[in-house]
Amino acid sequence: MRQTASSADPCIAATGAPVVVSAQVEHDDGRVGPALRLLGWVFAVVVSVALVRILLVQSFVIPSASMEPTLQVGDRVLVSRLDVGSVRRGDVVVFDGRGVFDALYEGHRRFLGGRYDAVVTEIATRNGRSMRAHARAGFETIHVYRDATDEWAVVAMPLRGP
């Protein structure tokens, strides 16, 4: 039997065709649905991870073989942002690249320039980043040699004028 618009059923239109009714459920007691709850948890986790990275530790990947055999290419190191200033022999020190290297060697010029002629160090030649940074600071290659594991550049930065 077909129902008409005069029928008491609200799901039947005046034409006699069924009407689609939205199945959205609203909670009268203020509860949120599972999707919104999941979104809240995801947001909390993302904020927590960001705060840990900003305030506590940061992860780095070793990009080159310049620290072998201690660290291999692709190794990950976690760097503490809290333990600053207590550097001991054997520690790996990470510079953030915001002028620390240049400031270090500028300090060498100021403090050692009156007493010494040059600062000399050696760099694995495959460490292109370090070679470029030393060149930018004023170092020049004075000798290149090879040992059992690597090729090394001995570089010098003059502290006094010519």
Does residue 107 lie in a domain region? yes
Q: Would the pTM count as exceeding 0.85?
A: no
- pLDDT tens for 34-76 read 888 888 899 999 998 888 877 888 888 888 777 788 888 899 9
Does residue 33 lie in a domain region? no
Does residue 116 lie in a domain region? yes
Which residue type does 40 have? G
Does residue 41 lie in a domain region? no
Q: Hey, which bits of the chain come out as E strands? A: 57-61, 76-80, 118-124, 140-146, 151-158
Overall domain count for the chain = 1
Does residue 85 lie in a domain region? no
Helices then strands, each counted (H, E), the chain: 3, 5
Q: What six digits make up the tokens of 109?
A: 């010029």
Number of C-beta neighbours around residue 124 at 10 A: 19
- Cβ atoms of residues 120 and 152 within 8 Å: no
Q: Give the range of the structural domain holding residue 122, as residue numbers without chain letter.
A: 96-162
CATH of the domain at 160: 3.40.630.30
